[in-house]
Structure 1
């Protein structure tokens, strides 16, 4: 059922299980993955929260250390990207290294984790739009109305060409970065009463009971760079571009986050930053910016704070749609999800699925919120915090398992000696990631702002555990019931190319003897 003229990819048979190739280059890919990290959301929301809740003054040093750990992770992960080009990314890598059943488990975890992170942002997005409408227009708008409107816009963009989405993400990301850099320069040029202190880079500032939880928050700020392999099938020269995008994304994020966190520290003062963050919360950045750059700049920054959330939602939406496409193509989800839209070549059915899930979750949270207008409890402290932390836990877990898969993949192929330095980097990264996972689960009540006796501290991280179990059981069932489909897990379009070659070979008459 081919499109025939090559202008449309609308079925899920044969070669058309592939996404449209050559859509984006290095620049577009880099912008797409960096947008997921929502720089302005991190600086205005995550950093003040980390200062306030954990009391860790050395947050800038924390970003440097995490940047090093994630660069080590990227060494092996990037090398794997040269050998495996599959929109299933994490689960495809894990399947190729640890086997199809492990890949099936990882596929469900990835789908749940990235869906949770995207849907969570809808909560804080709706709350911020509601607040802006009230403050500037005098309109009382329930948070879930702008959230649902955002679902519709994101869904349309997800249905269209990936290069169009990349352009939208690129513009929004560039503005976010420029705004934060202007603040950084102003803060460093006009520091607080303690001057240009480097105390935040003193290892002694990391001491304290909140270090483990601070690691979790800081890690979430980097999420996005690992998504580059998801677009491998749609990039030009994926064996080169994907690896470059990952290294550039991690390097940029580490530098940007460390500098911006230090700028906040300097503007407020190392001895005051924790107390100021506790007092002003997410308003800290805007208050410090207003004092140095004026009310107009602070208001514009607040506006792009919202557009940055939109960029992150679109980026995560594109990733989830591609995971769903890859899973549909390989029989882990209904095969209809392995369709791409005619004309754009985007995973349209996967995009529709993620839009439907987002609407369902928003409706549930809206229905359980007795006072939606102007009440941050449901959209921010519940939807955003719950879903965001569940998603971050899932991604950290996937990265740890993927590090092991990289080692096994090359070792089984007799390349352990040639890849020894890369495998060593993966091993060190895995140890660091497992440590963060342990701290995340142990301190999940702190992440949620719930009491130690709260059932949520185990129920929410249990979502990731349940997803892994469901995926593993599904993989075992496939191995028993549909062994051919089980063997294809992680192979992507390559499996169908191999099948076609095998079929053609079987149909070819044997060569005459003698």
Structure 2
């Protein structure tokens, strides 16, 4: 998205976040229990690929290398939380509008797809624990109503609540890994899930797509740059820590699934258990109470992920409306709450339309709503990351005064661009692995093609703004090119002012 001004509210407080706390926020934004308990079983069920654990290690390495240039450039970008701000500085404003449109599509797709996952999880939990049997779409609409209301009120989880929930989620996942290792299927701990050869079989596209969206959120650390203790070091350290911690957690849990079920059985067991796979494994070795707690935490984790996704999309729409790239009404906020009400309502309305279409047509909430939209979101996210990496490379190497180390300005961005490009090509080549048997063949091209169409539409709109409304075009990705000057020491204000 283009540079978006902060939504009115409490201003950031410089110096309140250290690397550890910022990494905690970024890791929590990735919603690890949602990824492991909700996404991974679907990944195994849809793909039939047992190499998910190794795939997560590959994704972790690529994203860690990407973070080198990404965090180095963040201090030159007015809105370091928006990929399109990097594209604006490195590749131009028309490209930034294109990236903004792709971001809107990708994050909307992921957020709305999560409603299908939430509906399935809540329906299963209510049916098993309370004998309350309702269709998935009813629970999805309940979640939609809650998220829509909280979005208008601009309600967000406090830092303390986020930390507590993250600790509880990680405890559940640690217990899963311990139980799996202590009780391997067949009495033998298999390393098949970590074997690179496992990825060579069919289903790679599904593993890459669902693995990619599982990391969404870890890139959020630079958005808090104004609140950290040492912007030069804290943001980079927090991003590396978050990426590595999240990726390691995912790899261990993906491997634990294959150990607990046996690699040859993982796909079948996951297809039967669905998002209840974690609870099933914990119930078998730790008792029913532990399983209920895990499933309840999974439900709250998905709801929190839905709310976070809604806020992210609303902020993107707000920024585009504020800059007049999209209708100005989207840039308005509520008088009492300071929430981007118009943008929030647009996202809520779009989600409702999609939910109703899938419900009325009898589509499956997991193998269709979640996987189809998740696949679109994954293509969009990988494209955004690739464009951002290219922008970082061009930005640093087109400036004769760049004092950045060769690793930051050239080597890491080049490696990241190559790695991300390969992942994107592999995903596009095997996108059909995300689609269940019997799915219309044209969706293999149509769904990822939506990303290309939206990217082109954004590019043409950016070029149109450049020629017809240059004052608006000039604001896209705006802000000072150089980093903000260091604060003037106490007592030196007049001397500094006089020297300028």
Name the counterpart of 1:300.
Answer: 293
Matched, 1:462 2:452: no
Change in CA separation of 1:235 and 1:336 when aligned onto 2, cut-off 3 Å: farther
Matched, 1:248 2:234: no
Per-residue CA distance 1:16-53 (angstroms, 9 max, x = gap): 87774316735675455434433223223433333344
Aligned with residue 386 of structure 1, among 360, 367, 372:
372
Q: Structure 1: how far apart are the matches of 2:334 and 2:224?
A: 16
Per-residue CA distance 1:452-487 (angstroms, 9 max, x = gap): 861111111121112111111110110011112112
Equivalence map 1:426-505=2 (5 Å): 426-450=413-437, 454-491=441-478
Contact 2:183 2:260 in 1 (8 A): yes
Contact 1:157 1:165 in 2 (8 A): no
Residue ranges of structure 2 left out of the alignment (5+ in a row) = 485-500
Residue ranges of structure 1 left out of the alignment (5+ in a row) = 1-13, 370-376, 499-514
Change in CA separation of 1:453 and 1:273 when aligned onto 2, cut-off 3 Å: closer
Q: Structure 1: how far apart are the matches of 2:206 and 2:455?
A: 23
Equivalence map 1:7-46=2 (5 Å): 20-22=10-12, 25=17, 29-46=22-39
Contact 1:21 1:236 in 2 (8 A): no
Task: Give 1:352 shift.
Answer: 2.8
Contact 1:161 1:345 in 2 (8 A): yes
Name the counterpart of 1:57.
Answer: 50
Change in CA separation of 1:279 and 1:382 when aligned onto 2, cut-off 3 Å: closer
Name the counterpart of 1:99.
Answer: 92
Contact 2:26 2:242 in 1 (8 A): yes
Q: Structure 2: how far apart are the matches of 1:445 and 1:398?
A: 21
Equivalence map 1:109-508=2 (5 Å): 109-160=102-153, 164=157, 166-232=159-225, 241-278=234-271, 280-342=273-335, 345-369=338-362, 377-415=363-401, 418-422=404-408, 423-450=410-437, 454-491=441-478
Q: Structure 1: how far apart are the matches of 2:466 and 2:273?
A: 54
Contact 1:216 1:436 in 2 (8 A): no
Per-residue CA distance 1:220-252 (angstroms, 9 max, x = gap): 221221233445567776665543432222011
Q: Structure 2: how far apart are the matches of 1:116 and 1:234?
A: 30
Change in CA separation of 1:234 and 1:469 when aligned onto 2, cut-off 3 Å: farther
- TM-score, normalised with respect to structure 2: 0.85
Q: Structure 2: how far apart are the matches of 1:313 and 1:16?
A: 21
Contact 1:86 1:326 in 2 (8 A): no
Task: Give 1:174 shift.
Answer: 2.9
Of residues 20-29 and 244-253 in structure 1, the stretch that sits farther from structure 2 once superposed is 20-29
DSSP-derived class of the 1:460 partner: helix
Task: Give 1:274 shift.
Answer: 4.3
Q: How many residues align?
A: 475
Contact 1:73 1:425 in 2 (8 A): yes
Contact 1:43 1:261 in 2 (8 A): yes
Task: Give 1:269 shift.
Answer: 3.1
